[in-house]
Amino acid sequence: MSLDWPAIDRWLMGEAWVGSQIERHLAMLCQQIGPRWSSSAGERQAVAYIRDRMAAAGLTDARLDDFPLDTWEHGQATAAVIANGQMANDRPIDLLPLLYCPPVDLRGPLVDVGFGMPHEVAPVKEQLSDAIAIVNLSPEPFSAPKPLADRLWSLRDAGAVAAVVVERKSGGRMEYHSATEWRTSGELEHPLPTVATSREDGARLRALAAAGRSVALTVPSRAYRATGTNTVADLPGAQWPDEWLVIGAHHDTVPDSPGGNDNASGTSVVLELARVLSLLRQEQGVAPGCSIRFLTFGAEEQALQGSYAYVARHHSSGPLPRLALNLDELAAGPIKGIVLQFPHLRPLIQGTLDTLGEGLQCHVLAHLDASSDWFPFARRGIPSALPWRWRFVGRHPDADFHHEPGDTADKVRPRELREYVGLLARLLLRLSHVPPADWPANTLCVDDIKARLKDELGTVPRTM
Ligand SMILES: [Zn+2]
């Protein structure tokens, strides 16, 4: 089939721009629905909306895909300073439990361990028995960074009974963090009960530790079984309907966050890609060559349980998708290219990007990355990718909002998302027309990937 790519490109960029529903999706997801913790009423409203938009766009079999979920809830954590055996009547200390923190009700002396590196823990080892350790969230500057989970394990081994991690962001901002290593496939149990405090109250707690004070720490929380939901919708290929490209984004958020950047941005772009590619078929008669599946995941913020469930249900056997592209936090800056988890598709993807004439680059990540939903795909040996964007490093002054109440819809730049939609639609359509025989063989072996993961534990992935 010969396709008029300049005409198709003009149509896709134009429709992504003038027909855009990005603002409508952001208003619905972030403002009307709000926080979308997987298993909550907010998630159920969001997935119903996403399924309805996919069906309205003319996709095939737009549906909800439920999965059993190990979830968790918490109340207000407190740390009361004990003065002369009594609780002191101070301003409350900012505290937020790390995800899946078990219930806590204990007292202990505060011990400052800096960044929690071996040279800092060893000199205070005697004091750490039954103590509450104060540790920086950030890794120590200059030395090889150790993951937070590893630093927490070393505190537990030294006898600490709880840890308070000090935020890296300032101005009282606190976000939900994980105390566990997600590369070991979704371990939820904390090394020791861990809560976060603001950078400012971290300084207060450190002054109390220096004065030899103790605190009474409480965390009301509960872990339980519930149901999370993914959404699935298909655009069948005209030439190779049994070959697949997959594009997904998580729709869920942490508690209390409207999830603008993380991840109404990615979810809106998935909805828009489905709409423009479906409309191209209806109005211009140009269908994808292979089939394209559009997914949104629940429970990304809960150790990737939604994407694990999707991969286990749909890809335990049979042919694997040619590529899975995952969109997460697209509000941090404009698209610069594509990042692959494995190298074998690099020439094909770079060559295809070159035909767009937009200067987009393809790179390959040096480590496997468990920080988003591409990880369960990668573990299964499915070639997976992210857009390369300006995460954390700052194209925009508010590029670091996620996992917190301030991650509102105004952090998202609809103009940039329209560009993501136009460029990714052009890329996906081109990739769908690469004949199956022209895709490099997928030589990824699950056992090799497991061995590589084992080697990489204890290191911090380089993500920029
Ligand atoms: Zn995210």
Cα 387 to averaged position of ligand 1 atoms, centre (Å): 13
How sure is the predictor about 84, in pLDDT bands with cuts at 50, 70 and 90? Answer: low
Cα separation of 71 and 75, whole Å? 14
Predicted confidence at residue 256, as pLDDT, reads 97
Cα 335 to averaged position of ligand 1 atoms, centre (Å): 16
Average pLDDT over residues 231-253: 98
Cα 196 to averaged position of ligand 1 atoms, centre (Å): 19
Average pLDDT over residues 175-195: 87
Tokens 């109340």 correspond to what residue?
75
Helix (H) or strand (E) holding 133: strand 132-136
Cα 323 to averaged position of ligand 1 atoms, centre (Å): 20
Model confidence pLDDT, tens digit, residues 294-333? 999 999 999 999 999 999 999 999 899 999 999 999 998 8
Cα 299 to averaged position of ligand 1 atoms, centre (Å): 10
Cα 129 to averaged position of ligand 1 atoms, centre (Å): 36
Cα separation of 153 and 168, whole Å? 20
* Contact status, residue 342 vs residue 386, Cβ threshold 8 Å: no
pLDDT, the chain, mean: 94
Model confidence pLDDT, tens digit, residues 326-374? 999 999 889 999 999 999 999 999 999 999 999 999 999 988 999 899 9
Q: Which amino acid is at 436?
A: P
CA nearest neighbour of 175 among 412, 408, 401: 401
Predicted confidence at residue 332, as pLDDT, reads 84
Cα 60 to averaged position of ligand 1 atoms, centre (Å): 26
Average pLDDT over residues 69-76: 97
Cα 245 to averaged position of ligand 1 atoms, centre (Å): 21
Cα separation of 398 and 89, whole Å? 36
Cα 145 to averaged position of ligand 1 atoms, centre (Å): 22
Cα 44 to averaged position of ligand 1 atoms, centre (Å): 18
Cα 38 to averaged position of ligand 1 atoms, centre (Å): 13
Helices (H), 165-304: 199-210, 265-284
Predicted confidence at residue 235, as pLDDT, reads 98
How sure is the predictor about 19, in pLDDT bands with cuts at 50, 70 and 90? Answer: very high
Cα 300 to averaged position of ligand 1 atoms, centre (Å): 7
Average pLDDT over residues 19-32: 98
**148 or 91, which is more confident:** 148
Q: What is the per-residue DSSP string for 271-303?
A: HHHHHHHHHHHHHH----SEEEEEEEES-TTTT
- The dihedral built from the CA positions of residue 450, 452, 458 and 459, taken in this order, carries a sign that is negative
Predicted confidence at residue 270, as pLDDT, reads 98
Cα separation of 267 and 330, whole Å? 10
Cα 266 to averaged position of ligand 1 atoms, centre (Å): 8
Lowest mean pLDDT across 77-91, 107-121, 210-224, 260-274: 77-91
Cα 86 to averaged position of ligand 1 atoms, centre (Å): 43
Cα 456 to averaged position of ligand 1 atoms, centre (Å): 22
Cα 281 to averaged position of ligand 1 atoms, centre (Å): 31
Cα 29 to averaged position of ligand 1 atoms, centre (Å): 14
* Cβ count within 10 A of residue 394: 12
Predicted confidence at residue 322, as pLDDT, reads 96
* Contact status, residue 238 vs residue 278, Cβ threshold 8 Å: no
Cα 288 to averaged position of ligand 1 atoms, centre (Å): 28
Cα 254 to averaged position of ligand 1 atoms, centre (Å): 9
Instruction: Tell me the CATH class for 76-219.
Output: alpha beta
Q: 5-72+225-456 maps to which CATH number?
A: 3.40.630.10
Cα 250 to averaged position of ligand 1 atoms, centre (Å): 7
Cα 327 to averaged position of ligand 1 atoms, centre (Å): 8
Cα separation of 310 and 244, whole Å? 15
| pTM beyond 0.85 | yes
Q: Which amino acid is at 182?
A: W
Tokens 């995460």 correspond to what residue?
391
Q: CB within 8 A of 352, min separation 6: which ones?
A: 427, 430, 431, 434
Predicted confidence at residue 91, as pLDDT, reads 85
Model confidence pLDDT, tens digit, residues 374-433? 999 999 999 999 999 866 555 677 778 899 999 999 999 999 999 999 999 999 999 999
Cα 154 to averaged position of ligand 1 atoms, centre (Å): 28
All CATH 3.50.30.30 domain ranges of the chain, comma separated, are 76-219
Cα 207 to averaged position of ligand 1 atoms, centre (Å): 35
* Contact status, residue 22 vs residue 294, Cβ threshold 8 Å: no
* Contact status, residue 93 vs residue 201, Cβ threshold 8 Å: yes
All CATH 3.40.630.10 domain ranges of the chain, comma separated, are 5-72+225-456
Cα 247 to averaged position of ligand 1 atoms, centre (Å): 15
In the numeric block, which tokens belong to residue 126?
């005697």
